[in-house]
Chain A
Amino acid sequence: MQGGWARRGAAAALLVVTLAAAPALADTSAADSREAFVTVMGVVSPYATFGLLKHLSGIPGVASVTFDLAHGIADVHLRPGASVTDQQFRDAIRSASYTAGDIRRKSETSENLPGGR
């Protein structure tokens, strides 16, 4: 009997933990980060960045965007407390008629990213 209550308790605790963790798991891409480096494929000239910058800067929570043409990387700065998902980035890039690649985040606590960024 006691074992049954113990199992139920453990299951309930697991459920609570899982539910609590679910939003974080579903939105890990929007985790604590103030800056994102988004690889965009297909951009070949400053003129071609016009629509891309408009679409990326139009995402709610985005403060500013610059684009590194040689490496095809958009440097996206977010407003304090803002959260932007990877899918929002991908949708914006698709709307701009380009193809999204890797998305890397620079968190507030971690200043270093692979590639020296």
Chain B
Amino acid sequence: MIARLIAGLLLALGTAAFLPAPARAQLTFPGASPISSGNIVLRAQPEATEAGGGFSSLFDRNVLIYGASPDLTFLVQNNSIITNSADVGGRQLSATGFGDTLFQTRYTIFQQDGIGSTLRVAPIIGINVPTGMNAVNSALSPALQPGTGAWGTRDAITASWQTLYWNGGAEAGYQANSDASSYHIGNTVYADVGFHYLLWPSSLEGQVGSELYASLESNYTSSDANASFGRTVGGTGGQLLLIDPGIIWTTTLYSVSFTALLPAYERIAADGGRYNYGVALFFRRSFFTDLHW
């Protein structure tokens, strides 16, 4: 029984690096898209992922975006309710609670606008604040708790090239994590690319009220191994490449999307810890305030 429990724990540690932070598709991030000053965007993104060994993660990623000036945008992301589950020693254990909060600042450093097109580049800096619950279920590894308990930083560069009929975007970044209770979740390099193609309407003459896009995105993650009390935790870290086909419905006020998160390449350290699939819904609504620069 103890052996099965240990085996289960090792398995849990093996995939833990991927479950709490699955793909950040462009749908989950605005890239370098224009955000008007005073524009407030609220976004909710329920997401579910499933991996080998009975691991699953279900959470609601909520994002608040605020255009402080034509070039400066603030983003606050909180993984509000997280349930991470794992099969440990034949028992299905889970940890449910609130996650961490990521505060990010984006500043557009390059902007080239044309009629019906825009090319923008923006660096992003962010800080992960350990607002989440990191000791919900002691039978699960620290990386499977809803919150990491660790401060972190995120540095990225993002670019978007958008036209009336297609949008392309890319983002590359690095997330560094601090230790929390002598446990360190491996630092991560990530790279995302996305392409959206207008399906409907075929004509954009006059005032267009809504549009339907097909989307195809890809997310690459390379994580260092986790460490506990300074020693590398076996079976952690690795690389994961996801391909995400999806569909987006957007209006002046709202956007809704559905995206599948499918593994294309995996080199995850743990045996049996393969990432199987994920799905993400996406709701977005715009608001406006006169409080801005």
Contact = CB atoms under 8 A, between A and B. Distances in A.
Chain B contact residues (Cβ within 8 angstroms of A): what range? Answer: 35 or more
Contacts, number: 110
Chain A contact residues (Cβ within 8 angstroms of B): what range? Answer: 20 to 34
Interface string B50-78: 00000000000000000100110000000
A83 interface: no
Interface in B120-170: 162-164, 167
A44 B255 CA distance: 15
Contacts of A58: 290
B28 interface: no
Contact of B35 (A45, A46, A97): A97
A50 B40 CA distance: 10
B110 interface: no
A47 interface: yes
B34 interface: yes
Nearest to A51: B36
Contact of A71 (B35, B113, B115, B117): B115
Contacts of B162: 44-45
B164 A44 contact: yes
B70 A42 contact: no
Given A67-B207, A94-B70, A46 B251 contact: yes
B208 A42 contact: no
Contacts of B101: none
Interface in A11-67: 39, 41-55, 58, 66-67
A98 B67 contact: no
Contacts of A96: 34, 36-37, 70
Nearest to A70: B204
Contacts of B39: 50-51, 54
Contacts of B177: none
Contacts of A66: 207
Nearest to A39: B115
10 contacts: A41-B118, A42-B114, A43-B116, A46-B208, A48-B33, A48-B34, A51-B37, A70-B203, A95-B292, A97-B71
Given A44-B118, A44-B162, A51-B34, 4 more contacts: A44-B163, A47-B251, A70-B204, A72-B115
Interface of A: 39, 41-55, 58, 66-72, 94-99, 101
